């Protein structure tokens, strides 16, 4: 009989061993038994416990340093002369003498122009002679009336003739006066519009006279800020050149312009040497009453859900709050704000990443944040 092959015998052995393993039932524990863990291995948190531990966002906070600061109302404006007038002839005639040029400084009453008027001067001389004659006639008749030589009716006629002669002289003198144009106030001749020898009708413009001391800065204040502007308030005016000059509020209109609902104001600025010209663009900064305020970087200011300007603060329970503020001034070092509570802790970094009522992890702000330096976004803290 032939011996069975090796692979046939091996197959029967494997079959027998498999049958014995199945009969023991130990195969059911493979893959389902929990692996043994040592005491040194970390425990895995259950999902419920992980959800219970909320992630907190880190913010930087500071306590406000209050100062007294004048409220500054900034408006756009333009410089203008205190007075401006166009000088004109009062009578027709040929320009005989022009006594002022562009840029000349004149005083009130100075003669600017004289028209030729020889014929009118002769009328004055004639009127003077007639007045002298009527005066003597009236005196003679008065003596005769007193002696009873002539009736009193002749005295009345003489007085009437004397009054008529006096009126003729006054009219002739007025015609002479109208040949001369004088400066109504002190100032600078800014423009000369005529030339000597020209024929000028009555009412012809001849020159423009400006009074630039004081020079005036004109602007308009909004209806929200008009309550803070009163006559006598100090004001600074920054010219387009960068120069800052000081003045005072001399006029505040009591009626708003219909189109813009703003109130025109005037700032008087001393200008004895006429260095500040009229018509220059200017920024008017009116100093109002001093208020309790705090200086903060511009980046600290934020908006609430309604769009109101304000600050986010840290409450006593480490939750975020919002307080509206009032912008007092905008300085190169930062914003000057009022309305900040006395005991407030202001969030100066991360304020735009948190919302009202949110619990946060607060840390003190460093010097860079206080100086308004750029701040990286703070990651949530566990």
pLDDT over 50 at 51, yes or no: no
- Which pLDDT does position 196 carry in this prediction? 85
pLDDT digits (tens, 9 = 90+) for 180-223: 899 999 999 999 999 888 888 988 999 999 999 999 999 999 99
Residue-wise over 171-184: b if at least 16 C-beta within 10 A, else e? Answer: ebeebeebbbbbbe
pLDDT over 90 at 252, yes or no: yes
Using 50, 70 and 90 to split pLDDT, how confident is the model at 262? very high
**DSSP string covering 1-15:** -PPPPHHHHHHHHHH
The rounded mean pLDDT for the chain is 80
Contact 276, 245 (CB under 8 A): yes
pLDDT digits (tens, 9 = 90+) for 276-299: 999 999 999 998 888 888 888 888
Instruction: For residue 57, give Cα distances in angstroms to 35, 270, 305.
Output: 38, 56, 19
Token pair 């600061």 is found at: 69
Percent of the chain with pLDDT over 70: 79
- Which pLDDT does position 23 carry in this prediction? 60
Question: What is the model's pTM?
Answer: 0.60
Using 50, 70 and 90 to split pLDDT, how confident is the model at 376? very low
Instruction: For residue 261, give Cα distances in angstroms to 78, 181, 256, 267.
Output: 19, 42, 5, 20
pLDDT over 90 at 245, yes or no: yes
Using 50, 70 and 90 to split pLDDT, how confident is the model at 8? low
Distance CA 232, CA 104 (A): 32
Which residues in 7-137 belong to E strands, given as ranges? 56-62, 66-88, 93-98, 105-106, 111-115
Q: Which domains does the chain have, with CATH numbers?
A: 58-69+292-381 (2.40.420.20), 74-81+213-290 (2.40.30.170), 117-178 (1.10.287)
pLDDT over 80 at 41, yes or no: no
Using 50, 70 and 90 to split pLDDT, how confident is the model at 239? very high
Q: What is the mean pLDDT of residues 103-119?
A: 86
Contact 58, 381 (CB under 8 A): yes
**Cα-based angle 55, 58, 64 (whole degrees, multiple of 5):** 145
């Amino acid at each position: 009989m032939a011996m069975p092959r090796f692979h046939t015998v091996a197959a029967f052995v494997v079959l027998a061993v498999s049958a014995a393993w199945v009969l023991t039932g130990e195969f059911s524990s493979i893959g389902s038994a929990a692996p043994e863990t040592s005491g040194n291995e970390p425990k895995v948190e259950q999902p419920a416990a992980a959800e219970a531990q909320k992630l907190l966002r880190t913010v930087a906070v500071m306590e406000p340093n209050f100062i007294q600061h004048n409220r500054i109302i900034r408006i756009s404006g333009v410089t203008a002369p205190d007075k401006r007038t166009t000088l004109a002839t009062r009578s027709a005639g040929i320009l005989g003498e022009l006594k002022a040029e562009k840029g000349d400084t004149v005083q009130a009453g100075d003669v600017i122009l004289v028209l030729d008027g020889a014929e009118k001067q002769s009328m004055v001389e004639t009127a003077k002679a007639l007045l002298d004659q009527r005066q003597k006639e009236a005196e003679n008749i008065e003596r005769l009336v007193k002696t009873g030589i002539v009736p009193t009716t002749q005295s009345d006629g003489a007085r009437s003739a004397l009054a008529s002669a006096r009126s003729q002289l006054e009219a002739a003198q007025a015609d002479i006066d109208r040949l001369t144009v004088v400066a109504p106030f002190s100032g600078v001749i800014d423009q000369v519009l005529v030339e000597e020898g020209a024929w000028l009708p009555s009412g012809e413009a001849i020159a423009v006279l400006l009074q630039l001391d004081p020079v005036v800065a004109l602007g308009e204040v909004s209806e929200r800020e008009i309550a803070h502007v009163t006559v006598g308030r100090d004001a600074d005016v920054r010219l387009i050149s960068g120069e800052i000059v000081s003045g005072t509020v001399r006029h505040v209109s009591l009626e708003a312009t219909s189109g813009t609902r703003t109130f025109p104001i005037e700032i008087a600025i001393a200008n004895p040497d006429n260095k500040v010209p009229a018509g220059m663009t200017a920024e008017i900064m009116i100093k109002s009453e001093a208020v309790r305020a705090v200086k903060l970087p511009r980046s600290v200011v934020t908006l609430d859900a309604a769009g109101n300007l304000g600050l986010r603060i840290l409450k006593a329970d480490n939750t975020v709050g919002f307080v509206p503020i009032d912008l007092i001034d905008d300085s190169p070092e930062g914003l000057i704000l009022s309305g900040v509570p006395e005991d407030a802790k202001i969030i100066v970094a991360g304020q735009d990443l948190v919302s009202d009522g949110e619990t946060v992890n607060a840390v003190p702000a460093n010097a860079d944040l206080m100086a308004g330096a750029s701040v990286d976004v703070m990651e949530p803290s566990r």
